[in-house]
Amino acid sequence: MTTTSSPSLTITAARIEVPFTVTFATVTLREPGPGEVLLDVLACGICGFDMEIAESLATNGPQAFGHEICARVRAVGPGVTHVQPGDQVVLESGSFCCDCDLCRNGRVDLCNKGAGFWSGPAMGFAEAMLVPARNVVPARDIAPLAAVLAEPCGVAVDMVKVADIGLTDKVLLVGAGPIGLMALPLIRRATAGPVVVANRSTGKLEKARRLGADKVVSTQDVSLPDLGTEYGGFDRILITAPPEVIPDCIIATAFGGYLVYIGSNFRSGGVIQLDTHALHFGKKQLRPSFASPALYLPEALTLLRTGIIPPKEIVSHVFPLSKLAEAIATVRTQRDAVCKVAVVPDAAFTSPPGPLP
């Protein structure tokens, strides 16, 4: 990173464009204005949504990306008091505004009107970025490669809260990606009943066992309806898998049970057919979890800091920023081995790129 003689900062920032095309741009960031914070990025995770952006959403030319961010404060603008230069922080990928009727009525979870950093010239896959102070959450006493999980961990926390798991509920988690695996220790603590994890590929099933699953199955071996029959129906099914699994999950849900769904398919797979009679006469609820605005980052940091959610089980690969294209290719091609891939600035990168030992 280089600074010029002016207070502005010249840095390298990654760009993404459909299909999966990474480029780098030299960007000059001005000094922070009122209510703004200038950050040096310490680590940024690759999210499933980043892969959607790379595959089908970034159609208007190269755009900045990366929203799972741990950073260090370089400078703060006038009026910013909750962090100061040198502080380590994480970022809310979207924030509530504090001023609208929804916020004032206590429904901050429904407000996405807070200032954000998505339109900026540099986001998490960059050496530095300028962000609204509203997005910045202090993250002390935690390694950057653990804190980088705070934002997606908040997604897992939201899903578990939406699931409202009872003390002895039988729970099925469908999908053993980073969100599902971070939810798993919380599900394990929420219920004394059986916790079962189903995933198509087998690569992360042992990890799921270590994180609290009583039983792990591959959906290549067992169908979800058969699994439901074996357990007499699941009281809660938490789904972090493509939408096409939802019909089978409805069958596998117990009378009165909840299906909590998080996932996306921005192509044709986002539209599916559902048996509404099975929902109605089965008193089953389909509950989407959508952690926008990004809430619960302080809770997520505590869960990661204490090891209740062990970061080492979730972060599987680390790449330097200059090898971002390789990092994205690894997410695409090594689904069995990859859990969360983190990218760090080249200056902070020490070990060989790829899987962590």
Contacts to Zn ion by CB under 5 A: 47, 49, 96-97, 100, 103, 111, 113
Nearer to Zn ion, 96 or 234 (CB): 96
Q: How far apart are CA 284 and CA 347, in angstroms?
A: 52
Q: What backbone torsions phi and psi does residue 138 show, to the nearest 5 degrees?
A: -60, 140
Nearer to Zn ion, 65 or 258 (CB): 65
Nearer to Zn ion, 47 or 190 (CB): 47
Q: How far apart are CA 40 and CA 1, in angstroms?
A: 10
Using a 10 angstrom Cβ sphere, with 0-12 exposed, 13-18 middle and 19 or more buried, the burial of residue 301 is buried
Which residues have C-beta within 8 Å of that of residue 315, sequence separation ≥ 6? 45, 145, 146, 148, 149, 339, 340, 341, 342, 356
Nearer to Zn ion, 92 or 127 (CB): 92
Nearer to Zn ion, 9 or 339 (CB): 339
Using a 10 angstrom Cβ sphere, with 0-12 exposed, 13-18 middle and 19 or more buried, the burial of residue 306 is exposed
Nearer to Zn ion, 100 or 337 (CB): 100
We find the least distance from the C-beta atom of residue 82 to Zn ion, in angstroms, to be 18
CB neighbours (10 Å) of residue 276?
10
Which residues have C-beta within 8 Å of that of residue 334, sequence separation ≥ 6? none
| Helix, strand, coil percentages in the chain from 3-state DSSP, rounded to 5 | 30, 25, 40
We find the least distance from the C-beta atom of residue 353 to Zn ion, in angstroms, to be 22
Are the C-beta atoms of residues 309 and 182 closer than 8 Å to each other? yes
We find the least distance from the C-beta atom of residue 158 to Zn ion, in angstroms, to be 12
Nearer to Zn ion, 124 or 233 (CB): 124
Q: How far apart are CA 92 and CA 133, in angstroms?
A: 10
Nearer to Zn ion, 170 or 317 (CB): 317
Are the C-beta atoms of residues 182 and 348 closer than 8 Å to each other? no
Are the C-beta atoms of residues 241 and 201 closer than 8 Å to each other? no
We find the least distance from the C-beta atom of residue 45 to Zn ion, in angstroms, to be 7
Q: Return the H-helix or E-strand segment holding 256.
A: strand 253-261
We find the least distance from the C-beta atom of residue 215 to Zn ion, in angstroms, to be 28
We find the least distance from the C-beta atom of residue 223 to Zn ion, in angstroms, to be 30
We find the least distance from the C-beta atom of residue 340 to Zn ion, in angstroms, to be 10
181-210: burial string, b at 16+ Cβ within 10 Å, e else:
bbbbbbbbebbebebbbbbbeebbbebbee
We find the least distance from the C-beta atom of residue 35 to Zn ion, in angstroms, to be 16
